[in-house]
């Protein structure tokens, strides 16, 4: 039966076992990869965008026809462009110029107004720091005030984590034949980790959750930030706290390098046919490290966060 709109096909993405990558590295255990790059906006953020807007509608916080504004690295903006466009809300995406140009072009094609914010002096294109994100947040707040707009606020709005609590977590548990022993996720807003892990703990109390950060920018783990710049767009902002992790079950922290993420994304494309982005490569790299260490012989779940098509202008595929 055909869906009434694209909103009805967000979520329920397929999962696959990365058994070829496991065998090639001589590891024990399995990795379950949730293919959220197959969502309509090519990323997991479609779930959060839908969750935030529908929750805001239900509460009455979002008025009919009101403009929606949000900061984005591109994925949340794409999801919101789709959801707002279908529901009739003008949408303004505010993004750092340090993110790949494909993202801005896609959001504009979907009807969004895109406002690009210059990076801080000394920042490297393709490497968006927490300072760069703070500049984007400042501009987003100014636009909200000027236009009387609604701020989607992905770093704080409960609809973000709730979407993953209600959909991603239960889907992954079913897709694994109820065999998951661990879950690891690259921290951006923390909504995916917080929602998914809370759901998984309801299914299996002793399942272990790991928060992934870039090496040198692992502020959530309490480590000193020595290298806030890295190529993994959409997360790793070296923030010491994230709302969605405050009450979420965290059993451990893990780090990977930008080169690990890049190499693993490339390997995943060649070995498994999965064309994911930087954060997907980071997630799988971390899962491989876990199977080589504390999760040896276990079943680790990861999300393939977005599509490699969003990085064609970067060095991910150069």
Contact 126, 233 (CB under 8 A): yes
Alpha-carbon distance of 249 to 244, in angstroms, equals 10
Measured between alpha carbons, how far is 195 from 247 in angstroms, rounded to an integer?
10
Q: Spell out the residues 6+ positions from residue 31 whose beta carbon is closer than 8 angstroms to its own.
A: 17, 18, 21, 22, 284, 287, 288, 291, 299, 300, 301, 302
Three-point CA angle 137, 138, 141, nearest 5°: 85
Sheet with 91-96: list strands edge to edge: 113-117, 91-96, 68-72, 150-151
Beta-bridge partners for 91 = 68
Catalytic residue among 44, 279, 307, 310: 279
Nearest Cα to 232, choosing from 96, 116, 144, 127? 127
Tell me whether residue 45 is one of the annotated catalytic residues. yes
Annotated catalytic residue 307: no
Catalytic residue, chosen from 34, 44, 45, 201, is 45
CA distance 132 to 121: 10
| Element containing residue 290 per DSSP (H, E) | helix 278-291
Write out the catalytic residue numbers. 45, 279
């Amino acid at each position: 039966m055909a869906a009434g709109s694209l909103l009805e096909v967000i979520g329920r993405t397929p999962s696959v076992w990365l058994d070829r990558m496991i065998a090639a590295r001589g590891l024990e255990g399995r990795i379950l990869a949730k293919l959220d790059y197959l969502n309509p906006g090519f990323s997991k953020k479609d779930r959060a965008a839908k969750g935030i807007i529908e929750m805001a509608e239900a509460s009455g916080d979002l008025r009919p026809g009101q403009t929606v504004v949000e900061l984005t690295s591109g994925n949340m903006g794409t999801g919101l462009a789709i959801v707002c466009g279908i529901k009739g809300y003008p949408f303004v995406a505010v993004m750092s110029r340090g993110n790949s140009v494909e993202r801005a072009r896609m959001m504009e094609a979907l009807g969004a107004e895109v406002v690009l914010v210059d990076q801080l002096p000394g920042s490297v294109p393709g490497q968006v720091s927490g300072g760069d994100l703070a500049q984007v947040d400042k501009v987003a707040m100014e636009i909200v005030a000027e236009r009387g707009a609604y701020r989607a606020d992905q770093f704080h709005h409960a609809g973000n984590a709730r979407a993953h609590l209600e959909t991603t977590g239960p889907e992954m548990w079913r897709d694994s034949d109820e065999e998951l022993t661990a879950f690891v996720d690259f921290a951006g807003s923390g909504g995916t980790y917080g929602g998914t892990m809370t759901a998984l703990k309801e299914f299996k109390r002793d399942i272990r959750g790991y928060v992934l950060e870039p090496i040198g920018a692992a502020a959530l783990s309490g480590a000193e930030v020595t290298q806030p710049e890295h190529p993994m767009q959409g997360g790793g902002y070296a923030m010491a706290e994230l709302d969605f992790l405050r009450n979420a079950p965290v059993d451990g922290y893990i780090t990977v390098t930008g080169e690990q993420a890049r190499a693993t994304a490339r390997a995943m494309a060649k070995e498994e046919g999965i064309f994911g982005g930087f954060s997907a490569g980071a997630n799988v790299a971390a899962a491989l490290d876990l199977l080589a260490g504390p999760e040896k012989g276990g079943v680790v779940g990861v999300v393939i966060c977005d599509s490699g098509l969003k990085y064609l202008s970067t060095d991910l595929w150069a």
